[in-house]
Amino acid sequence: MPNIVKNTTFPGLFSLLAPHSCRGCGHIGQPLCDRCKNYIISQHQNLCPICRQLSPTGKCPNCKNLPPIFIVGNRSDLIGDLIHVFKYNSVRSLAVPLAEILNAILPSVKNPIIIPLPTINRHIRERGFSHTELIAKHLVKLRQNAKLENILSRQRNTVQVGSTRETRLAQATTAYQLDPNIKISPKSTYILFDDVWTTGASLQAAHALLKRAGTENIIITVLALSQ
């Protein structure tokens, strides 16, 4: 088992020591070494983000109106640190191992259509890339017969960071729209992907839109749960 240093103990230490050292163990080479990647996968225990019950199948028995949800881990753990450096330090190469981790925790489904939750345009300009789309592109390569469809768009450039839970929930219901030209294929499984579950408002709003459009099989997946 690798000697993983929690990012809460030494934030950013390894990136100061070497630009291409593993965020988990400091090993020089890549921002996430295979051992630390496999460690994250082996530690995965699926929880319902609402009631926090163990939910190995993704479908929480307590929260009936939710689709199956798959979450890699907690934002306070290594996975949270990886998302942070990926997004804010633009370590784009992390998209590959992050997609591999998602691929490992997701069930196999027929003809999956992966939908990244759209990032607001200002953030894409600032970072130079859409972080959810980049991971989704790599996830598509790992899944048989998978497709990426950017069928969700943002209605407004609203930022959710710092807003109250109530504001977020209210904003989310009108934040997204589905491409009116898209044809829903009822036999496919739609995989909604975002990096972090905070209130879950955005993902639940996107889920409701897809359902209203006639989608029967929807899965939500995120990398980290914010506590």
Instruction: Provide the binding-site residues for Zn ion, judged by CB under 5 A.
Output: 22, 24-25, 27, 33, 36, 48, 50-51, 60, 62-63
Helices (H) and strands (E) in the chain, counts: 8, 7
Instruction: State the nearest-atom distance from the C-beta of 64 to Zn ion, in Å.
Output: 9
Q: CB of 149: closest distance to Zn ion in angstroms? A: 28
Beta strands 189-197 and 176-178 are unpaired
Minimum Å gap between C-beta 70 and Zn ion is 13
Torsion of CA 57, 59, 60, 61, to 10 degrees: -90
Q: Tokens for 21? A: 């050292």
Q: Rank residues 50 and 124 by Cβ distance to Zn ion and give the closer one.
A: 50
- CA angle 32/74/9 to nearest 5° reads 65
Residue 148 or 201: which CB sits closer to Zn ion? 201
Q: How far is the CB of 40 from Zn ion (least distance, A)?
A: 10
Structure tokens at 30: 């890549």
State which residue, 114 or 201, has the beta carbon closest to Zn ion.
201
CB of 190 to Zn ion, least distance (A): 20
Residues 6+ apart with CB under 8 A from 3: 25
> Based on CB atoms, which residue is closest to Zn ion, 36 or 98?
36
**Least Cβ distance, residue 39 to Zn ion (angstroms):** 8
Residue 68 burial (CB < 10 Å; 0-12/13-18/19+)?
buried
Q: Where are the alpha helices (DSSP H) in the chain?
A: 13-17, 34-42, 78-88, 95-105, 121-127, 131-142, 165-175, 201-212
Distance set, CA 24 to CA 32, 40, 78, 79, 97 (Å):
7, 10, 6, 9, 13
Alpha-carbon span 211 to 46, nearest angstrom = 23
**Which of 64/212 has CB closer to Zn ion?**
64
Nearer to Zn ion, 21 or 215 (CB): 21
